Chain A
Amino acid sequence: MAERREAGVARAPVERVIELAGVSKVYDTGRVAVRALDDVDLRLEAGGYMAIMGPSGSGKSTLMHILGCLDTPTSGSYFLRGHEVSQYARKKLAQVRNREVGFVFQRFNLLPRLTAAENVELPLLYAGASAERRREVVADLLAKVGLSDRGHHRPNELSGGEVQRVAIARALANDPAIILADEPTGNLDSKSEEDLMQLLDSLNEKGKTLVVVTHEDSVARHAKRVITLHDGRVV
């Protein structure tokens, strides 16, 4: 299911939410240079739902971090909704992370000192939303993920599945077009996994573009499209 190679893309059509062209990521640790991503091309249309699979160390997380603007490629171009974000300055990237994409990690998603509601509020705070709007949106999102009664709990007072749902609520805070989830069900039992995937499915149905990294076929099955990475290449 590899993407068709299309070299020399100068500007991607707008309906393509994500377009990677020849993206490589090399970690230079001093003694050896690890090629975590090797010339990856990738496209995803608006409303798409993609699962990324592959063995451990194949570069899935690295790819997700680049997609989420948490890291920048060593070479190649990344177009997000038609803009080449690989050229963005730090400040602009922070804005992209804040408004354009929502990220869900496998572990350590939430700030342990803050309550669930405060965690969900963070992106709104950095977007400069008013207190009133923040309250509204947080209540709304907690209801959406079925945790209205857990707003005042701290992360250590929540179950693993609840933590991940709070993380999803936070990813949705500024209503981004894209949700990126790196092994969101990695620490969950099959029941919680199924609940969480249904939540993600419903988001996709409402038009969010989704990328999910997973080792589980049961998770990958939810996606409309599955790609597999091997040694930093899409196979």
Chain B
Amino acid sequence: MNFLTVFARAVASMRYNKTRSFLTALGIIIGVTTIIAIVALLKGLDRTIDQEFSSLGTKTIYVQKMELEIGLRRHRNFEEISKRPDLTVEDAAAISELATVRAAVPYIPRNLGTLTRGIYEADECILAGIGEGGDLTGNWIISRGRFITRYDQQHRNMVCVIGSYVADNLFGRGEEPLNQTLEVDGRRYVVVGVLEEKGGSFGHPQDNQIFIPVETHLKYYSLPEGRASVFRGMRIEVLPEEEVPVETAVADVEELLRLRHGLRYYEDNDFGLNTQESMLSSLNTIRSVLWLVMVGVAGISLLVGGIGIMNIMLVSVAERTREIGIRKAVGASDVDITVQFLSEAVALASVGGVVGIVLGLAAGAFVSAITPLQAAAPWWTVVLGVGFSAAVGIIFGIYPARKASGLNPIDAIRYE
């Protein structure tokens, strides 16, 4: 009997008991659908994350109180971290003196909530103190006017540069914000620059910022203390010189800050140097955890599906004992019977696998259609799905098949 005959017979037998075959295949369908859908989602997530990162400055080093790690690698003691020294404008100035550094810019954010200007209002605005070069480190493009300068900083000028969201919402259509005043917390700032739209990063809007000179910010607002200082305190955005590798600049900044903080050689850094690279690598830990979870979930559902197949095949063997006896009486060998039952198990699993692939791909397409996540399963998931389901068919079909083929012809025929 060739492969096609065997398979055709298996399918025929499957169709003989449609409802049962469907219920049996359901386990596999769910398993394979899960695999394909999860792979599609993870791929979509990867793609989205890559896009988000490209909206940050690619070479920018973020000097913060804490090493940023996206992930759950270790428990962080925030009490400890909040006691670290705050980063200062002087730190930024010192860093910017480094030969490998092009710009080192202090940055302090402050949530304003809703800001109004006459009849206009804008939600969730951020008043950020920033230094000269913040447009470079933050990857901003200036639409009109100019950015904050060293001069603004030194003189604590009452000027601001606004994001596109602020410009669009606090000024009327066709109204030019440049040289107009914007009142924040009772103080008036002259708009000297308007930024181009940048879009969000990791769900955080960025165009809702009002940049003012960092010294002006420090004059009117105190730095956050305690735990708040960890995330909302001053950070320094460092852009390495062109041609200088990020790691070289990171090493220089680290050395300088250790010196300034008076750290001994055996003491750990009391600041974090966060780069896109370091965040990506910690993100990759999450990715691998997610992939592991996927393998686990898919493995369990395939296991359940496989047990379902084995169960039904065992019932089938018991039900068809007399059939097995008759087949043996007319010359079927043990191998023939094994092949027959195994092919039925594999056919069940494969059909389940194919249906699962279709459903999984559909689930990915559905998610892509209704969310911004570009969930698309790569071609190899199809191979994976077919391979897995066939393997499940073989693994869980072999025992019932061997049980069937091991029967004695006459015991099988006499079976009631």
Contact = CB atoms under 8 A, between A and B. Distances in A.
Contact of B13 (A68, A91, A113): A113
A126 B408 contact: no
Contacts of A98: 330-332
B330 A108 contact: no
A111 B326 CA distance: 8
Contact of B331 (A97, A109, A111, A113): A97
Contacts of B330: 97-98, 103, 122-123, 126, 170, 173
B331 A70 contact: no
B135 interface: no
A229 to B, nearest CB: 18
Contact of A103 (B1, B327, B329, B408): B329
Interface string B193-206: 00000000000000
Given A94-B334, A122-B330, A70 B323 contact: no
Interface in A93-126: 94-95, 97-99, 103, 105, 108-111, 113, 122-123, 125-126
A138 to B, nearest CB: 13
A168 to B, nearest CB: 12
Interface string A70-104: 11000000000000000000110011011100010
A141 B132 CA distance: 100
Nearest to A122: B330
B258 interface: no
A165 to B, nearest CB: 16
Contact of A71 (B334, B335, B410): B410
Interface in A160-175: 170, 173-174
B409 interface: yes
Given A91-B333, A97-B331, A108 B410 contact: no
Contacts of B328: 70, 94, 97
A127 interface: yes
Nearest to B337: A94
A174 B334 contact: no
B408 A71 contact: yes
B156 interface: no
A127 B326 contact: no
Given A68-B329, A70-B329, A109-B326, A125 B334 contact: no
B327 A122 contact: yes
A215 interface: no
A98 B327 CA distance: 10
Contacts of B16: 113
A4 B330 CA distance: 32
A65 interface: yes
B329 A174 contact: no
Point out which of A65, A94, A99 has the most chain B C-beta atoms below 10 A from its C-beta: A94
B117 to A, nearest CB: 82
B329 A97 contact: yes
B1 A70 contact: no
A174 B331 contact: yes
Contacts, number: 66
Contact of A126 (B13, B323, B333, B413): B333
Contacts of A122: 327, 330-332
B334 A70 contact: no
Contacts of B413: 70, 105, 108
Interface in B206-259: none
Contact of B410 (A65, A94, A110): A65
B334 A128 contact: no
Nearest to B411: A71
Nearest to A71: B410
Contact of B326 (A95, A108, A173): A108
Point out which of A123, A173, A174 has the most chain B C-beta atoms below 10 A from its C-beta: A123
B331 A108 contact: no
A52 B327 CA distance: 25
A108 B413 CA distance: 9
Contacts of B333: 90-91, 94-95, 126
A123 B331 contact: yes
B159 to A, nearest CB: 88
Point out which of B329, B333, B413 has the most chain A C-beta atoms below 10 A from its C-beta: B329
Contact of B332 (A68, A71, A94): A94
Given A70-B413, A71-B410, A113-B13, A95 B331 contact: yes
The 8 closest A-B pairs by CB, nearest first: A98-B331, A94-B333, A126-B331, A70-B410, A71-B410, A123-B330, A70-B409, A97-B331
Interface of B: 1, 5, 13, 16, 322-323, 326-336, 408-410, 413
7 contacts: A65-B410, A71-B408, A95-B333, A97-B330, A98-B330, A103-B329, A113-B323
Given A68-B329, A94-B334, A113-B13, 16 more contacts: A70-B328, A70-B410, A71-B409, A71-B410, A98-B331, A99-B331, A105-B413, A108-B413, A110-B326, A122-B332, A123-B330, A126-B336, A127-B331, A170-B330, A173-B330, A174-B331
